[in-house]
Structure 1
Amino acid sequence: MGYELAGVEYLSQRKGGSLLCIYIDHADGIAMGDCVKVSHQVSGVLDVEDPIHETYRLEVSSLGLDRPLFTKEDFDRFTGSRVNIKLCVKLQGRRRFEGFLNGTLDDDVLVTVDDENFILPLEQIDEARLVSEL
């Protein structure tokens, strides 16, 4: 459809089923109508293929100001930006890191938090988002 699939999140929620969130992007930006078009198409495919066998909501969204980071390329693209990263497991006694992104090295993400440098394995990142500067 001419949109970039920027990422997908599947979030289990206690009430009302789970949430399947699809993030799209486009060089010209994303408007509400774009999200509606993609949602309609994806919903049709999901109804036919039925890959999720529990109650869920589908949400199609732009990346927004607090855009999620999914790939190594995302982390490199936003080097120098403020980020909030949550790991799957603790590293040096903590799971959350909010600081400045210093890019990547091999399969690791480099981040500085309060003048301390951390090397975070990309495969252990549960969630990463830019911190809005507004």
Structure 2
Amino acid sequence: MSTEQIKSIVESLVQPYLDQHGFELVDIEYVKEGGNWFLRVFVDKEGGIDIDDCGRISEYLSEKLDEKDPIESAYFLEVSSPGAERPLKKPQDFQKAVGHHVFVTTYEPVGGLKEFEGVLAEYNEQELVVEIGKKKHAIPVGKVAGARLAIVF
């Protein structure tokens, strides 16, 4: 089974619980690090998530994964907050991030750059605009390789 299929199954298993309890699914990763596989589920909620929330979600998801048993190899399940530099993946993530400091990478140069760190000034389905200093950079959504909130020091 592919990584994308596993992520899709995990999402279908955990989403009803998250919806029922007011949580937001931010991201799912299924990755091999060293000799071990890790299934990481990143969750948030209004006001932030705490360790007890992570524990309850982990217990629920662990039971569902044991019932369905979609993953053949051994793995470690981790449920956590996405952190202060949470990834921006879905359109609603970008919409919420307008006005906030972001870090964006692109698959190919846009205006000679492949990395943009500044304020997300605008977002629509076709492009996002990152303001760096007084200059605005329009980045086609299809060229975005990765995006996350960024902390300014």
What residue number does 2:7 align with? none
In structure 1, C-alpha distance between the alignment counterparts of 2:37 and 2:143, rounded to whole Å: 22
In structure 2, C-alpha distance between the alignment counterparts of 1:27 and 1:33, rounded to whole Å: 15
1:66 Cα deviation from its structure 2 partner: 1.5
Give the residue type in structure 2 aligned to 1:40.
E
The structure whose Rg is larger is: 2
Residue by residue, what CA displacement relative to the aligned partner does 1:50-93 show, whole Å, maximum 9, x if unpaired? 33444443221123222222221221212121111233x21335
Give the residue type in structure 1 aligned to 2:99.
G
Q: Which has the higher helix share?
A: 2
Identity among equivalent positions (%) equals: 29
* TM-score, scaled to structure 1: 0.77
What residue number does 2:124 align with? 105
What residue number does 2:89 align with? 70
Distance 1:121 1:18, change over 3 A: farther
Q: What 5-or-longer segments of structure 2 have no aligned partner?
A: 1-16
* TM-score, scaled to structure 2: 0.69
Q: What 5-or-longer segments of structure 1 have no aligned partner?
A: none
Distance 1:99 1:53, change over 3 A: farther
Q: Which has the higher strand share?
A: 1
**Equivalenced residues, count:** 133
Distance 1:40 1:131, change over 3 A: same
Distance 1:117 1:62, change over 3 A: same
